Amino acid sequence: MADASSDSVALGDVAIVGGGCYGTFYARQLLRAAERGAARFRRLLVVDRDPACRFAGEVGPAGDRELVAEDWSAFFDRWLGGAAPPAPGAPPDAIVPSPLMPHLMYDWLVRRARERWPDRPVERRALPAGPGTPYDVAAPDLTRYVSFADWLCPIHCIEPAICPVIRAPRTWEMGEALERLTERLGWSAPTAGPVLFTCRHRVYGVGMFDVATVLAGDAVVAEAGAAHRSVDIVVGTVSSCHGAAGLLHLGP
């Protein structure tokens, strides 16, 4: 959220996935934004299993930043498990994903669903169809990686209105494409969602999504499971141009 009294971006705790090259870059950018008054945050939490990761060696912990030496799944189970939506007007907690990370929020929803319904089948399933993008690849872990770009994108692109590669207006939006796909899938079987974790540029080249969005996605899964004996929920981590998506299946 932007500070009402300035152009500064106000944030609570910010969890950065990974302490390697990407996570270190994002941490530096957020620290630079804070130094220049473009952003305010409570703490940066850089999460990496390796206590000697690049962030530790090149930036290091301080009063406004911490290296959390922990597995990503264990961290999010603990951190998100105790999270609550921010009070009105309070700065949101946020997550900065890595471009190369696994589908962590989808995995978290699966674990939450299994805790909620221990006697019910909860399965990862592949999308039976894609959203019609030029790039569409199914991974062995059943995640479908899709993109509107059939070219190599610039590193740390913030996906502006004018695409820097084709130098023309960006006329696509991955979230809208997955919404249309969810509607089509619903014609043949009970389908809910899509639950979308949409990464948007906030400041100094750093994209993120709010923890409140993740909690709202968990609520969608809970509602769908209560309303249907068997249902598929479309889950995606997306930006404007790219996405990773799959089905979370709840059986009877």
pLDDT at 101 over 80: no
Report the pLDDT value the prediction gives residue 5, as an integer from 0 to 100. 41
pLDDT of 156 above 90: no
The pLDDT of residue 157 is 87
pLDDT of residue 4: 41
Residue range 81-103: mean pLDDT, rounded: 86
Cβ–Cβ < 8 Å for 218, 100: no
Could you tell me what percent of the chain has a pLDDT over 90? 81
Domain boundaries, the chain: 9-96, 104-250
Give me the mean pLDDT over the 89-107 stretch: 89
Q: Read off the pLDDT of residues 237-246 as tens digits, 9 standing for 90 and up.
A: 999 999 999 9
**Average pLDDT of the segment spanning 62-82:** 94
Mean pLDDT value of segment 42-69 = 95
Average pLDDT over the chain reads 92
* Residue-wise pLDDT tens digits, 15-50: 999 999 999 999 999 999 999 999 999 999 999 999
Confidence grade of residue 89 (pLDDT, cut at 50, 70, 90): confident
Fold of 9-96: Rossmann fold (3.40.50)
Mean pLDDT of 187-194: 92
Model confidence band, residue 99 (pLDDT cutoffs 50, 70, 90): confident
| pLDDT, greater one: 3 or 169 | 169
Mean pLDDT of all residues in 213-238: 95
* Interval 82-88 mean pLDDT: 81
Which pLDDT belongs to residue 3? Answer: 42
pLDDT digits 0-9 by tens, 118-139: 999 999 999 999 999 999 999 9
pLDDT of residue 127: 94
More confident residue, 25 or 82: 25
Three-class HEC string of the chain: CECCCCCCEECCEEEEECCCHHHHHHHHHHHHHHHCCCEECCEEEEECCCCCCHHHHHCCCECCEEEECCCHHHHHHHHHHCCCCCCCCCCCCEEECCCCCCCHHHHHHHHHHHHHCCCCCEEEECCCCCCCCCEEEECCCCCEEEECCCCCCCCCCCCCCEECCCCEECCCCHHHHHHHHHHHHCCCCCEEEEEEEECEEEECCEEEEEHHHHHHHHHHHHHHHHHCCCEEEEEEEECCCEEEEEEEEECC
